[in-house]
Amino acid sequence: MGFLFTAAEILISSLGIVLLGGLSAVVLEAYRRRHNHAHLEAPPVFEDPNSLKKVQCPSIFDPAEKYISLIVPAYNEEHRLPGAIDETMNYLQKRAAKDKSFSYEVIIVDDGSKDETTRVAFNFVKKHTVDNVRVILLGRNHGKGEAIRKGMLHARGELLLMLDADGATKVNDLEKLENQIHAVAKQDFHYGDSASNDSSFKVSDIPVAAFGSRAHMEEKALATVESVSSFLPPFSDFFFQSL
């Protein structure tokens, strides 16, 4: 009996050591991940769908090669992405046809999509060439903010603009933001130096940010509700108040 009791003690002790070791490993790994952000700083992957080669993305600190870069973060957007990119490319192509100095790129950042977003994005690369449309694959989902940041950090444009993949922001409004950026940048360029020459002005040399708003969409929605309610009987007020 003494031998059996000792064997049982040894077995229980061994199991306790194994469980304690496993728990310690889990705690240490959780601590390492919490305080180590190297996984967020891993360079994103750019792929050429024609050669299927993975190429390191350019850096925002490299000399600008395009006038403007449009960054489109996308997560499971296989259905809405085509409409947004088609509209964007039509606008950019028409503008480039009118102004030969206008150059652009569209960067689609696939934020770890689980649907066919990657395939849809690469179809646009094949259609418009890799010089005009690029796809960055983040591998796993990091969130919209990180997708935008990675797209910005690896863009080639003097101006960087974020567009939603659902097409909620109309690319036709781009010039409104451009005009504001140029106005503020030129003001800073000439500030304190009346001898500054416009020929040396470069918008990318001035840190400027401009932000658009979806408020106009809300105004249109309210106007629609008001116009519809004017044709409804009095009891309809209760319906709208209930909403």
Return the domain boundaries, the chain: 45-169, 173-212
CA distances (Å), origin 180, targets 144, 175, 218: 25, 9, 23
Question: Is the model's pLDDT at 193 over the cut of 60?
Answer: no
Mean of the pLDDT values across residues 30-41?
Answer: 53
CA distances (Å), origin 58, targets 21, 154, 199: 44, 5, 27
Query: Tell me, what's the pLDDT at 106?
Result: 96
Query: Tell me, what's the pLDDT at 59?
Result: 86
Neighbouring C-beta atoms of residue 60, cutoff 10 Å: 16
The alpha helices in the chain, defined as continuous H runs, are 2-35, 81-98, 117-128, 144-153, 174-190, 215-229, 236-242
Which range, 73-77, 207-211, 218-222, has the best average confidence (pLDDT)?
A: 73-77
- Per the prediction, the chain carries an average pLDDT of 75
Mean of the pLDDT values across residues 42-58?
Answer: 67
Query: Tell me, what's the pLDDT at 120?
Result: 95
Which range, 24-38, 63-77, 198-212, has the best average confidence (pLDDT)?
A: 63-77
Query: Tell me, what's the pLDDT at 128?
Result: 93
What is the bridge-based pairing of β-strands 157-162 and 66-74? Answer: parallel
- The 8-class DSSP code of residue 103 comes to -
Cα–chain center distance at 2: 68
Neighbouring C-beta atoms of residue 242, cutoff 10 Å: 6
Mean of the pLDDT values across residues 29-45?
Answer: 55
Task: Please give the Cα distance from 137 to 33 (Å, whole number).
Answer: 22
Counting residues of the chain whose pLDDT is more than 90, the rounded percentage is: 36
Question: First CA to last CA across the chain, in angstroms?
Answer: 77
Task: Please give the Cα distance from 77 to 121 (Å, whole number).
Answer: 10
Query: Tell me, what's the pLDDT at 43?
Result: 59
Q: Which class in CATH covers the domain with range 45-169? A: alpha beta
pTM: 0.66
- The 8-class DSSP code of residue 132 comes to T
- The 8-class DSSP code of residue 52 comes to -
Query: Tell me, what's the pLDDT at 15?
Result: 72
Which of 75-84, 111-120, 196-205 comes out lowest in average pLDDT?
196-205
| 170 Cβ neighbours under 8 A, 6+ residues apart | 87
Query: Tell me, what's the pLDDT at 227?
Result: 40
What is the bridge-based pairing of β-strands 54-56 and 45-47? Answer: antiparallel
Task: Please give the Cα distance from 90 to 19 (Å, whole number).
Answer: 61
Task: Please give the Cα distance from 102 to 89 (Å, whole number).
Answer: 13
